[in-house]
Structure 1
Amino acid sequence: MSIGRTDLNLLKVFEAVYEEHNLLLAGKRLHLTQSAVSHALRRLRELVGDELFMRTGKGMVPTGRATAMAPALRDALRRIEDSLGVEPFSPDSSRRRFVIAANDHVTAVIVAPLSRDLQQAAPGIDLVIRPSTRLDLAEQIDLGRIDLAIGIFSQIPPRLNSRTLMSQGESILMRKGHPAARRKLTLRDLTKYPLVTLSVGGQEEGAVGGFIVERGLARQSEMFDRRALEEALRESKQEPRSRVTVPHSLAIPALLRDTQMLAIVPASLAVALAKSGDLVRRAPPYKAGTETLRAVWHGRDAHDAGHAWLLERVAAAARAAEEALG
């Protein structure tokens, strides 16, 4: 196949359909009619010799060939745009869609204020949140389906870039009328009262030491410092009373309501949940470690002005959340 007569606009159509999974939405994004998108796809199919997308009940699903092509084509488009200086990013007029991978804790603490910020600064930009707990997170970043992943990572491969967003410890949450709510917590409380902990993946998903490793990216699976807790209780010859382990942090208020349970959660989540006035947060009675929240993205986006702008907005939201910890 010769690229000499290839219309590079076909690649923009490919990218839009690949990301939107819908001809109508791809057309709106490119300011083209659905008929024009279909025509462009037909030309690209003839050029490549593959169907590229199959129409299903879930939209336009990419074929294996399209999935293999996507990362290199997106990278090539970004490089061409950077080289020519075309399509400068203007947040107040941009119609881009960014896909962010985050768990519900990060969504509540960082993405929610980010969304409010974008309503004013970039009303045409859309955010799509995907679960950062998915087992193919690294693959989705590699394929260009996720623009930014936010989480706690102990290992980041060279092909991915990262930026530190905030550091935090952990807190203990309980209902307002809990017997321990009016005093400082002790280790004895953690053996007397049942515990609620957060875990988004166990050994059955391949977690080792509280982290799941996939394609060189190691993401945290347990949202508390298990080692610090167990070591503190081991010294006092006591064991914690683990009662409930949940993957969704926003279920915690309902679990604590009308019970004697205590929840171990990231400090920023404790601040957010305690704002309702129904919950009380306390410092843990042991020396818990500090975790670092990072943003991770593929190296091919390093020179994308829109991506860099979004990252700065995410970082600003994270700084505000860190400042709220006091």
Structure 2
Amino acid sequence: MRKELSKLDYFTLKVFIGLVEFKNGSVVAQKLDTTQPKVSRALSNMREVIHDELFVRRQYGVEPNIMADKLYPIAKSIVQAYEQMADVTAQLPEKNQLIIAAQEHLAGFLVDSISEVCQRQGLEISVSIQAWSDNVQELLAQGKIDYAITVNSTQSESVRNFKIGDVKNYFLAARKAHPFFDKEVSLSRLLENKLVFINYAKVGLIEHWFERYTKDHSLDIKMSFKTTSLAMALNHVAKTDDICWTASIFSYLYFNSRSDIDYIDVTDFYEKVLFPNGDFASYSYYLQYHQSHDNDFSTALSKLLQQSLALAQEQYEQQSMAN
């Protein structure tokens, strides 16, 4: 057995690690920039050396067995040692392009943070932005997306979640000189208008919290439309009498730069008027990435995003107090 172990070269171990992490041969081939037949030959080689099947076939890939789970951390440490010897440590991203997914008003925040971390660590990495869709969580789990910013993220065995901050502010945005802003905000006045909702990091037929609220209180609501695109929502309300309910400092930074939009902070209205008992839902932002990105780059990116969000929130609060 010891003599046969010499057949387990760097590539074979990388294939084995990839199959444990991604559970799909085609994904591993893509990650290693190789062909699926080469991945299959490497797996066959390792099976012969170990005298174990290592994986069980499933409908959409493979599942590691008990032996594979035992060998995985050992193989991972061996590969890391190889990479350290080659001065390409496991603490650096293994490719020169990162694929991210985020809604448009969050994408710039993530891209800027990635660029800053790259500059600090002396890396040359480009970023490809994928539009938010209903299969982002699946693509993250498969390793086809490297990083994503989500709201109240879904837990997954192969996806890491790092909380970068809370949604602390809520806003109503409408066209300049909208009559709604002439008087104090009230629920009855709000319901007189057609509303536009943002489904943050959510897709499909998911109710907005305000829809549920009006149903629970037997209130009528005039909904114009729901979208994941803040730009689309603001472009619409800038030309109509509709009002957009939106949230977070990211939204504020986005519409505060527009000359055709007015807004009002309705955080107190949300927390004290709509939910006087304090039973309102809370929302948080998370950086999500595949477990294979457990490295110093991801740690640095997570901390920078957290610091940047906290700073933006602090600046907004100072400005609000000054006004």
> CA, structure 1 residues 90+161, in 2 after alignment: closer, same or farther (shift >3 Å)?
closer
Q: Aligned in 2, Cα 1:42/1:247: closer, same or farther, shift over 3 Å?
A: closer
1:80 counterpart (74, 78, 81):
78
Larger % of helix: which? 2
Which residue of 283, 292, 302 corresponds with 1:291? 283
Unpaired segments ≥5 residues, structure 1: 27-36, 51-63, 211-221
Task: State which structure, 1 or 2, has the greater radius of gyration over its C-alpha atoms.
Answer: 2
Q: Do the aligned residues in 2 keep the contact of 1:271 with 1:324 (CA within 8 Å)?
A: no
TM-score, scaled relative to structure 2: 0.65
1:194 aligns with 2:194: yes
Aligned to 1:323: 314
Identity %: 14
SS of 2:270's equivalent? coil
In the alignment, the residues of structure 2 paired with residue 75 and residue 148 of structure 1 have an alpha-carbon distance, to the nearest angstrom, of 23
Within 5 Å, give how 1:10-29 maps onto structure 2. Answer: 18=27, 21=30, 26=33
AA aligned opposite 1:80: I
Q: Aligned in 2, Cα 1:84/1:120: closer, same or farther, shift over 3 Å? A: closer
- What is the CA-CA distance between 1:264 and the residue it aligns to? 0.7
CA pair 113-21 structure 1, distance change in 2 beyond 3 A: same
Whether the aligned pair in 2 keeps the contact of 1:98 and 1:126 (CA below 8 Å) is yes
* SS of 1:296 mapped into structure 2: strand
Q: CA deviation at 1:297?
A: 3.4
Deviations 1:69-99 (A, max 9, x none): 89999988754344567123677x9854333
1 CA distance for matches of 2:105 and 2:176?
A: 21
CA distance in 1, matches of 2:76, 2:288: 18
- In 1, the alpha carbon distance for the partners of 2:315 and 2:29 equals 36
CA displacement, residues 135-193 of structure 1 (integer Å, 9 cap, x when unaligned): 361x3233222333321226524654322211113211111121223444222332222
Q: Which residue of 1 aligns with 2:237?
A: 256
Partner of residue 144, structure 1: 143
Aligned partners of 2:289, 2:31: CA distance in 1, in Å? 25
Q: What TM-score do the two structures reach when normalised by structure 1?
A: 0.65
In 1, Cα distance between equivalents of 2:152 and 2:182: 36
Alignment-derived partner of residue 276 in structure 2 = none
CA offset digits 1:206-243 (Å, max 9, x no partner): x5xx5xxxxxxxxxxx4x55445666xx3xx7523211
Aligned partners of 1:299 and 1:274: how far apart in 2?
Answer: 36
Change (3 A) 1:160 1:225: farther
Retained in 1: the 8 A contact 2:103–2:228? no
In structure 2, how many angstroms separate the alpha carbons of the residues matched to 1:4 and 1:181? 75
Q: Name the structure 2 match of 1:162.
A: 161
* Distance in structure 1 (CA, Å) of the matches to 2:111 and 2:195: 28
Report how many residues are paired: 275
5+ residue gaps, structure 2:
19-25, 46-57, 272-279, 318-323
Instruction: Indicate the residue corresponding to 2:225 in structure 1.
Output: 244
State the 1:126 CA deviation. 2.3
Aligned to 2:248: 267
2:302 match: 311
Q: Per the alignment, do residues 89 and 125 of structure 1 end up closer, same or farther by CA in structure 2, a change over 3 Å counting?
A: farther
